[in-house]
Amino acid sequence: MNRYFKLVNFEFNRFLKIYLVLIGITIISQIIGVIVKSNQYLNMANDQIQGGSMSSSEFINQYGPISLYEIIQTLWFLGPIALCIVSLIIYVFFIWYRDWLGKNTFVYRLFMLPTARINIYFAKATTVFLMVLGLIALQLLLLPVEAWILQWIVPFDFRIDMSIREITGIFHYFAILFPNTIVQFIIHYGIGFMAVFVVFTAILFERSYRWKGILFGIIYGVLALLLFFAPVLLQATILYEFFYPIELLVLQMITGLTVIAGSIWMSNYLLNKKIRIW
């Protein structure tokens, strides 16, 4: 096992407790959500039908059958997802700052490891990414379970069964998290990874130059953003509609990879030459 993997493992285990709590909250909240919403719907149906005001087919006509599509748009579902997203965004910062904070200055240890310091950067980025993808996988595992619970509670006539693909396809936010094709998946999460690299570099600017570094970090972020979107900005302004879609895609991939490479290079420089321990 080389030191990079050991670092990933170390970072991973350091966050594991909070991560498991996030997973637990997600599972519990979403499953409770399915049960609560299904029962609410059934109670409403029972009231209407047994109250004699309408037949079951009239009820379905008027209120529509229930499906996971309705349930995933509730707070039971989106709440934990939002919580996970916010937690991971905080984690992107926390993963660096906690090494400096507190009286146990772990950052001394990290920077005195007999390995290239950029491996620390890669290890932290890898950990963030594993955490993100882990939650994505969790949601993909949870959806069939939830579909099954819905089927178990609500009778056939009152529900629409949807495949995982249909659920992820029609709900807008899910379409961002679970794109349709593997190529888009790589593009979406590639952009995400790029953003993590840029933020990490901005954090290292701050850690190297402190107050001035905040400014450098912001400038760096803006430049990275401008470079990444340069083809689109050109397309929208002076080279109006000049590029064909496929060309735009290739250009964006080039600028994206340039931003990633630039961030790694910059971070390597900062870690070796400019970083400060206290």
Partner 1 sequence: MKRYWKLISIVLIIVLVIGTFYIQSSMAASNYPEFVIETVSGNQEEVEQLSLLANYRNGMIYDNVTITENGAEYVSEGSFLEQLEGSYANAEIKRLQEDYRHFMRGKTGSPRLFFEDQSKVAYADLSMETLNNRYKPSDFSFDISVLDKDSDKNTSFELPLPERESYNFVSMEGVYIVGGEMKLITHNSKGRAGSVEIHVYSINIDTEEIVGDEVILKSEEINDNSFLEIRKENANGNLDSNRNVLFEYETFEEVKINEWESYLEPTEKDFIVYNLETNEREVLNLPEEIRDSANAVFVSDEKIYFAQEADGKPEILIYDFDTERIEAKQSFSIQSPVSELVFNIKNDKLYITSSYMNMRTKATILILDLKTGETLYEGFIKMENPRTEQMDYELYIRGTEIE
Partner 2 sequence: MIEVKELTKKFGRKTVLNGVSFTAEKGQITCLIGINGVGKTTIMNAIMALTPINGGEILINGEKIHKHSYEKITFIPDAITMLPQMKISETMQFMADFYDCWNQKRADEILQFFKLREDNRLSELSKGNTAKVNLMLGLAMDVDFLLMDEPFSGIDIFSREQIADVFSSHLVEDRGVLITTHEINDIEHLIDKAVLLNNGIVSKEFNTEEIRENEGKSVVDMMREVYQG
From partner 2, partner 1, none, interface partner of 166 (C-beta below 5 to 8 A by class): partner 1
Sign of the torsion angle spanned by Cα atoms 246, 247, 248, 254: positive
In contact, 110 and 49? CB cutoff 8 Å: no
Nearest Cα neighbor of 253 from 177, 179, 183, 174 is 183
> Does residue number 4 form part of the binding site for partner 1 (CB under 8 A)?
no
Q: Looking at 49, 249, 251, 264, which residue binds partner 1 (CB under 8 A)?
A: 249
Q: Does residue 5 interact with partner 1 by CB under 8 A?
A: yes
Q: From partner 2, partner 1, none, which one binds at residue 182 (CB under 5 to 8 Å depending on kind)? A: partner 1
Among 226, 233, 239, 257, binds partner 1 (CB under 8 A): 239
Contact with partner 2 (CB under 8 A) among 44, 109, 141, 257: 109
Mark the segment that binds partner 1 (CB under 8 A) among 179-187, 211-219, 223-231, 265-273: 179-187
**Two structure tokens written together for 117:** 């310091």
Q: Is 12 a binder of partner 2 (CB under 8 A)?
A: no
For the beta carbon of residue 224, count every other beta carbon within 10 angstroms: 25
b/e map of 162-174 (b: 16 or more CB within 10 Å)?
A: bebeebbeebeeb
With beta carbons less than 8 A apart as the criterion, state whether 271 and 121 touch: yes
130 binds partner 1 (CB under 8 A): yes
Binding site for partner 2 (CB under 8 A): 3, 6, 10, 14, 102-106, 108-109, 111-117, 208, 272-278
